[in-house]
Structure 1
Amino acid sequence: MQTQQDSPAWLIQTWAAFVISTSMTTAGIVNLPVDNWVKGFMGMGLAFSVGSTFTLAKTTRDLYEAKKLTARIDEAKVEKLLSQHDPLNLK
């Protein structure tokens, strides 16, 4: 089984987008003309959103990989049954 390899350009683009978007949102929150408690609330919302996004992505990936493994196990069972089946066996 071959594992999927992401290109270095994709990895750089992904991390750059994450860092830039998080930094710009943080800068926007810091520079809002509101009280500090509002900024704190929005900062906590940003932190929670980022954390839950990572958790969702990991959970989705884990479910996908588990389904692939289950499918491979089922395929191996079918292949074993087919290899043991002899249609000319007249016993």
Structure 2
Amino acid sequence: MSTAAAQPKSSGAFLAQAAIAFGISFAASVFGVAYLPLDIWQRGFLIITLLFLVSSTFTLAKVVRDQHESSRVTHRIDEARMEKLMAEHDPFRVPGV
């Protein structure tokens, strides 16, 4: 009755584009901080801030992905329950007989 929804997969080109974009933006940020006319402690603060930003971005992406996957699983379970109820229902059955 129910066909399992195909899991969408990212293409290799999309994965490569995302990885390259991340690498270039991170390298450009580090390069920019390294060549700013700042003291060492100011430069260190910016580097720590950049690293914290990157790590929190990865954490946020994982949380969003996990929430999406759990809601999809819950939806599929509810859908399976409804299909079971509809399959067991007999509209021609007389109640109490």
- The size of the alignment, in residue pairs, is 91
TM-score, normalised with respect to structure 2? 0.90
List alignment gaps of at least 5 residues for structure 2.
Answer: none
- Whether 1:3 aligns to 2:7 is yes
- Whether 1:46 aligns to 2:50 is yes
- Whether 1:73 aligns to 2:77 is yes
- Partner SS state of residue 14, structure 1: helix
TM-score, normalised with respect to structure 1? 0.96
Residue number in structure 2 paired with 1:15 = 19
Aligned-pair CA distance for 1:33? 0.7
Counterpart residue type for residue 92 of structure 2? L
Cα shift readout 1:1-52 (whole Å, capped 9, x = no counterpart): 3221111111111000000000010011111111000011000110000000
Separation (CA, whole Å) in 1 of partners of 2:65 and 2:29: 26
Instruction: Please report the RMSD computed on the Cα atoms of aligned residues, expressed in angstroms.
Output: 0.8
List alignment gaps of at least 5 residues for structure 1.
Answer: none
Match of 1:27 among 8, 26, 31: 31
Counterpart residue type for residue 58 of structure 2? F
The structure with higher relative contact order (CA 8 Å, sep 6+) is 2
Which structure has more helix as a fraction of its residues? 1
Counterpart residue type for residue 79 of structure 2? E
Separation (CA, whole Å) in 2 of partners of 1:88 and 1:49: 62
